[in-house]
Structure 1
Amino acid sequence: MTNRFEELPIELDRSGLTPLSVQVAAGLRSAAASGTLRLGDRLPSSRSLADQLSVSRTVVAAAYDQLHAEGWIDGRTGSGTYLLAAPEITEPRPTAPKPVDTTAELLDLGPGAPCAEMIDRAAWRRAWRAAADRPPRTRKDRAGEPEFRDAVAEHLLRHRGLSAGGATVVLATSGSSAAVTEFACAVLRPGDRVAMEDPGYRRAARGFREAGMRVAPVPVDAEGLRVDRVPEDVKVVYCTPAHQYPLGGRMPAARRVRLIEFARRHGILVIEDDYDGELRYDTAPLPLLAALAPDVVVHLGTTSKILSPSLGAGWLVAAPGVAQTILDYRRRTGTGPTPAGQLVLAELARHGDLARHLRKLRRELPPRRALLVEELRRRGLEVRGDDAGSHVVVPLDSAADEARVIAAARRRGVYLVGLADHYIGDPHSFGIALGYSALPESALGTAARIAGYCLARS
C-alpha cells in the first residue's frame, strides 16, 4: 500500500464558515473521486496530516471519523487507515453509452476462478506453439487426442490416485458443464430424475434440465451430500465429494461407502465432479469414488480450475459400457471436444510443466487463503470450508443480508457472490462464497479488507 498524500491538492479556507474538519473530509473525498487516491491506498496518520495542513490533530480525527462513518475508509490496528471506496464524479451522460461488463472492472472475489497468474508464461507459449505445429487433421478422434488421454491417465494416477484403464475408459470432454449435458443426452432419457447437491453447481443442473431431465435437489451438510435424503427413483446422483461446491466440505469415507452402496442397490450411476480435487493443502485427499467403485461412478475433471478455462478441455472416466454409449452419441451427432486445448495440456504434461504448476499452486495458494481468513476472522466473522480448493464461505442470516453485502462491496469496487446464487431449489441458508485465486496477492489484500468491512456491517 502506498501513501501519496504529498500529491493531494487539499486547500482549506480558514476564513470561511465551513468547519475545517468538514473541509478536510471533502478534500479527501475529492482526491478519491479524481483518482489521486486509489482503492487500498493508506492514508497518512492523523498526526502527520494535521502537521502538513497546519491544523489540530482533533480536526483531522473528526474528518476521519466522518469518512469512516460514511464507509469510505477503514482503520486497521497497527497498520493504518485505508481507502475502501471512492465517490462517483457526476458527469454528463453520453448519448449512446457503450455496453460494458461492469463485473470485469471489479476486484474479483467470486469462487471458481483459477490462479492464472501462476502459469509459467514461457511454458504456456511453448505448449501452444507445439500444439499449433501439428499438421491439420482430416478427422478428429471422437474419444479425444491420444496424447491427451494418456496425459490425463498419468495425471490422475500421480495426483488423484486413480488408475484409469482396464476397467475404465478415459474420454476427452469440453469441460465439466459440457460433459454433464453430453452424458445426459447420451446415457439418460428425457424425464429421468437426477439427484443434485443443493446448494450446488447450478450450471450442471441447467445442463441436465436442458437435456430434458428432472432435477431433484438434495440437501448438504458439513460432510457433503446427504445420502439419506436421496430419492430412490433417481437414475443418477451428481456430487462434488472432494470439496463440496460451494460450501467447501469433504465427504468422509463412511458416507462415500454409503453412496456407493446406494448406487449399487438401486442400479444407478454416480457422477463425481472433481473440479478442484488437486488443490488440497491440509491432508492427503480421500480416495476418489471412481477408485472405490469404477462400475457405478463416472468421474469428471477439468483444466478450468487448475490452469485456465481458455483451454476448454476436461475428461471423463467411466466403465466401458458408459464410455461406448457416449462415443456412439458423438458419432451420431457429429460432436466431440475440440483438439486444441487437449494438445496444449498434453504438451504441458510431456515437459513436466503441468506437475510443476500444480506443485506451485499447492505452495502459493495456502498463504492467500490465510490472508483472507485472517482478515475475516479479525472482524469476528465465521469462516467455513476445508483447507482446500480456492474459496471459503462466510455465513449470513438472510437473503437480505446477502444482497446488502454484495451491493455494498460492489459500490466499493469488489465483486462478491452469494450462496443464494447456487441453490437449485429454494434457498434456505445464506452467506458469501469468497474466492482467493483470481487476484494478484497485492490486490487480494485490498479486496479482503473491503469484503471484511462489508460483511462485518451486515
Structure 2
Amino acid sequence: MDVPPLPLDRGSPVPLAVQLADGLRGAAVGGMLRPGDRLPSTRALATALGVSRTVTAAAFDQLLAEGWVAGRVGAGTYVTALPVGLPGGADRPAAAGAERAPGPAGAGVPDALDPGRPCVAALDRAMWRRAWRAAADPEPDDAPRPDGLSGFHTAVVEHLLRHRGLAPDDVLSTAGTSAAVAELARLLPAGARVAVEEPGYRRAVSALRAAGLRIVPVPVDDDGLVVDAVPAGCAAVYVTPAHQFPTAVRMPAARRVALVERAREEGFLIIEDDYDGELRYDVAPLPLLAALAPDRVVHLGTASKIVSPTLGVGWALAPAPVLAAWRDLRDRTGTRPSPAGQRVLIAMARHGDLSRHLRRLRRELRERRALVLAAAAGAGWRAHGDPAGAHLVLRGFAGTEAALIAAAAGRGIVVRGLAEYHDGPPRTSGLVVGYAAGTRADLRRALARLTG
C-alpha cells in the first residue's frame, strides 16, 4: 500500500519510533489507513522514511502490543482495527482480509522516450472494458452538470485520501490539469503577473498567457522552484512540487513551507499541479501544498497520467472564494467537463480496480526506470530526478544537447531537451527521457539507439 505522509522531526526529544507509531495511529484515525490495509514491511518503510530498521521495528512492536495491527505469517502486517480510545475508533468495524500531453497512439519506438505519454500498457484490458460497460449503465443525462458528477467527487475524495493523504471538503471536476489552468487563468485579474517554473510545463504557460496574464519565469534548482527568486507583486505562482516538470526533482518540505509563508504574507495563490503525484517509488510522500495551506492553494490532479488521457478528467481543490468564482464562470459560459470519463473512473474506483491498477502501474514504471538508469550508466551518463513519475533527466554526455537530439533523430528516436522547456534563454541542459510510452521492448530498443 501507499506510505501515508509521516513527517518525522529528528530534532525533537521524542524518539523517532514513538513519532512513527503516533503518525501511523493518526493516519488510521484520519482514514488514510483502514482495517484490512497491509502495512509496508519494516525494511521498506525504513527505506522510504530514511530511518534505520530498528526505528520501524520498534514502532510496529508498539502497535502490535496495542492490538490494532496484527502479523500474518508470510503475508505481512495488517491493520485490524482503529486505535482504541481515539476519535472514530470505538465503533468502526474491522474489514475482512516536450509536453505531458500524449503523442499519437501506436507511434512505436520513435516516441518511446516521450515524457508526456502515460503507461497504457499497464492497463488491464478486462478492467478497462468492465469500467466502460458500467459507465454505460446509467440513463443519459438531460441536464448539464457544471460541478461534475457526485459519484466522481466521492471517488476523487477517496482517491486523494488514500493516495495523497488529503481530505478535501469540496471538489470541482475538470477536464484535466491543463484545462483547469486555462479556466483558472480567467479568474485572475487581467494583466496580473504569474510566476512559473523555468524550465517548466509549456502548456500551462501558454494557457496563462492566452488569458492575458504576464508570465514571470522563476529558476528551478535541484530542490524545485527557487522561492526567494519569486518577485513581489505576483497574483499567483504555478508549481509542480511533487515531481517538477521537466527536471524531475521534488520540492523538499522546508521550501514548501517557505512558499506557503510567502503566499500568506503577500496574498498570492499557489497553483499546485500534482499531475503524477501518485507515481512514486521508494520515497515517502511529502505533505501537499494544499494540506499545508488550503486557504492559499489551488490543487490540480488528473487521471491522464495514472490511467489514460482518453478519460479527459481531472479535479480541482481550492479555497472557497475561488471555487465560488469558478462555478460562477462556468454558469455564465456553459463550460463543463464531460461526464463520460467521470463515469468510467467512478466504476474503476467503486470495484477497487483503480487502486489495483495503481499498484501494478508503480511496479511497471519502477522496473522501466531501472532500465533507463542501467542504459545511462552503461553510456557513462548521469541520471537526475527523484524516484517518482515517468521521466527523468540525463546529463554527462559528450557534445551538446542539440547535437545529441539531432543524432538520435537520425537513428529514428525522438528525444527532448531541457532547452525547449524555457520561456527565455536556456538556464540548463539535459535530455528529458520518459519511460512510460509503448512496451518495455519499445523502451529497450529506444534506449539502445539513444545511447549507442
**TM-score scaled by length of structure 1:** 0.74
Counterpart residue number, 1:230: 230
Please give the secondary structure, in 2, of the residue aligned with 1:311. coil
* The one of 159, 163, 170 aligned to 1:159: 163
Give CA deviations for 1:197-227 in whole Å, capped at 9, x if unaligned: 0001010000000011011000000000000
Shift of 1:401: 2.1
Counterpart residue number, 1:350: 350
- Which runs of structure 2 are paired with 1:176-325 in the superposition (5 Å)? 176-185=177-186, 187-325=187-325
Do the aligned residues in 2 keep the contact of 1:396 with 1:402 (CA within 8 Å)? no
Do the aligned residues in 1 keep the contact of 2:379 with 2:451 (CA within 8 Å)? yes
Counterpart residue number, 1:106: 110
Going from structure 1 to structure 2, the CA distance change for 1:309 and 1:140 (only over 3 Å counts) comes to same
Do the aligned residues in 1 keep the contact of 2:108 with 2:442 (CA within 8 Å)? no
Give CA deviations for 1:97-134 in whole Å, capped at 9, x if unaligned: xxx99966724201121110011111111111111222
Please give the secondary structure, in 1, of the residue aligned with 2:238. strand
Counterpart residue number, 1:145: 149
* The one of 111, 115, 119 aligned to 2:119: 115
Give CA deviations for 1:222-243 in whole Å, capped at 9, x if unaligned: 0000000001110000001111
What letter is aligned with 2:138? R
Please give the alpha-carbon distance, in whole angstroms, between the structure 2 residues aligned to 1:265 and 1:325.
22
- Which runs of structure 2 are paired with 1:29-178 in the superposition (5 Å)? 106-165=110-169, 169-178=170-179
Please give the secondary structure, in 2, of the residue aligned with 1:327. helix
Going from structure 1 to structure 2, the CA distance change for 1:397 and 1:364 (only over 3 Å counts) comes to closer
Shift of 1:407: 2.1
Greater Cα radius of gyration, structure 1 or 2: 1
What letter is aligned with 1:173? T
What letter is aligned with 1:406? I
What letter is aligned with 1:356? R
Which stretch of the first structure deviates more once superposed, 418-427 or 307-316? 418-427
Counterpart residue number, 2:93: none
Going from structure 1 to structure 2, the CA distance change for 1:195 and 1:243 (only over 3 Å counts) comes to same
Give CA deviations for 1:374-410 in whole Å, capped at 9, x if unaligned: 1111111011001110111013689x82222222212
Give CA deviations for 1:247-288 in whole Å, capped at 9, x if unaligned: 011111110000000000001110100011001102211010
**TM-score scaled by length of structure 2:** 0.75
Do the aligned residues in 2 keep the contact of 1:383 with 1:394 (CA within 8 Å)? yes
Going from structure 1 to structure 2, the CA distance change for 1:101 and 1:404 (only over 3 Å counts) comes to farther
Correspondence 1:410 to 2:409: yes
Give CA deviations for 1:58-116 in whole Å, capped at 9, x if unaligned: xxxxxxxxxxxxxxxxxxxxxxxxxxxxxxxxxxxxxxxxxx99966724201121110
Please give the alpha-carbon distance, in whole angstroms, between the structure 2 residues aligned to 1:137 and 1:281.
40
Do the aligned residues in 2 keep the contact of 1:279 with 1:389 (CA within 8 Å)? yes
Regions of 4+ moved over 4 Å: 100-105
Please give the secondary structure, in 2, of the residue aligned with 1:407. helix
Please give the secondary structure, in 2, of the residue aligned with 1:298. strand
Please give the alpha-carbon distance, in whole angstroms, between the structure 1 residues aligned to 2:106 and 2:174.
31
- The alignment of Structure 1 onto Structure 2 pairs a total of residues equal to 349
Please give the alpha-carbon distance, in whole angstroms, between the structure 2 residues aligned to 1:214 and 1:157.
35
Do the aligned residues in 2 keep the contact of 1:397 with 1:429 (CA within 8 Å)? no
Do the aligned residues in 1 keep the contact of 2:178 with 2:204 (CA within 8 Å)? yes
Please give the alpha-carbon distance, in whole angstroms, between the structure 2 residues aligned to 1:280 and 1:102.
26
- % identity of equivalent residues: 54
What letter is aligned with 1:432? L
Correspondence 1:360 to 2:364: no
Q: Which runs of 5+ in 2 are unaligned?
A: 1-103
Please give the alpha-carbon distance, in whole angstroms, between the structure 2 residues aligned to 1:300 and 1:178.
10
Which stretch of the first structure deviates more once superposed, 118-127 or 102-111? 102-111
Counterpart residue number, 1:328: 328
Please give the alpha-carbon distance, in whole angstroms, between the structure 2 residues aligned to 1:104 and 1:177.
25
Going from structure 1 to structure 2, the CA distance change for 1:342 and 1:304 (only over 3 Å counts) comes to same
Counterpart residue number, 1:451: 450
Do the aligned residues in 2 keep the contact of 1:191 with 1:214 (CA within 8 Å)? yes
Q: Which runs of 5+ in 1 are unaligned?
A: 1-99, 454-458
Do the aligned residues in 2 keep the contact of 1:237 with 1:269 (CA within 8 Å)? yes
What letter is aligned with 2:114? G
Please give the alpha-carbon distance, in whole angstroms, between the structure 2 residues aligned to 1:415 and 1:271.
31
Give CA deviations for 1:109-165 in whole Å, capped at 9, x if unaligned: 011211100111111111111112221111121111111111001000000000111
Counterpart residue number, 2:430: 431
Shift of 1:424: 2.0
What letter is aligned with 1:128? W
Going from structure 1 to structure 2, the CA distance change for 1:248 and 1:174 (only over 3 Å counts) comes to same
Please give the alpha-carbon distance, in whole angstroms, between the structure 2 residues aligned to 1:142 and 1:320.
16
Please give the secondary structure, in 2, of the residue aligned with 1:393. strand
Counterpart residue number, 1:401: 400
Going from structure 1 to structure 2, the CA distance change for 1:216 and 1:103 (only over 3 Å counts) comes to farther
Do the aligned residues in 2 keep the contact of 1:384 with 1:394 (CA within 8 Å)? yes
What's the C-alpha RMSD, in Å, of the aligned pairs?
1.7
Please give the alpha-carbon distance, in whole angstroms, between the structure 1 residues aligned to 2:402 and 2:222.
24
What letter is aligned with 2:386? D
